Amino acid sequence: MQERNYLTALLQGKCPHCRQGAMFAYPIRKLSKFNVMNATCPHCGIRLEPEPGFYQGAMYVGYGFTIAFITMVSLVLYALGDVSEWHYIGASIGGMALLIPLNYRYSRIVYLYLFGGIKYDRHLSQTK
């Protein structure tokens, strides 16, 4: 089995310990269950919530994603020329509403990778 690098595993939502098991139980296209996260990694069995309430800190990562998105939308609209402030507001709110599943998932994934204290074990990616 080919070993995933750090960035590929993060973008695919894989376990930070083995980089094989999925962190979320369902694919993101199943919108009714986009937020259901596996309690343990299906490949290596490590707990994906290191402590109770761990993912409350992921709100700050999600906030950062939101600010980056609104800044990007604002720069694009500004480059288009004379645009009403309602276009800025509508594009920002509409875009963020569409990106809720991505924002939710990737804020948790990034938070776990950065602050979860789970180290990668190269031997686990080669077993099973």
CB-neighbour burial class of residue 35 (10 A; exposed 0-12, middle 13-18, buried 19+) = middle
Residue 56 included in any domain: yes
pLDDT at 103: 97
Residue 1 included in any domain: no
Has residue 1 got a pLDDT over 80?
no
Residue 100 included in any domain: yes
Residue 88 included in any domain: yes
Has residue 81 got a pLDDT over 90?
no
At 16, give phi and psi (nearest 5°): -70, -15
| Number of domains into which the chain is organized | 1
pLDDT at 4: 78
Has residue 125 got a pLDDT over 90?
no
Region 111-127: what's the mean pLDDT?
82
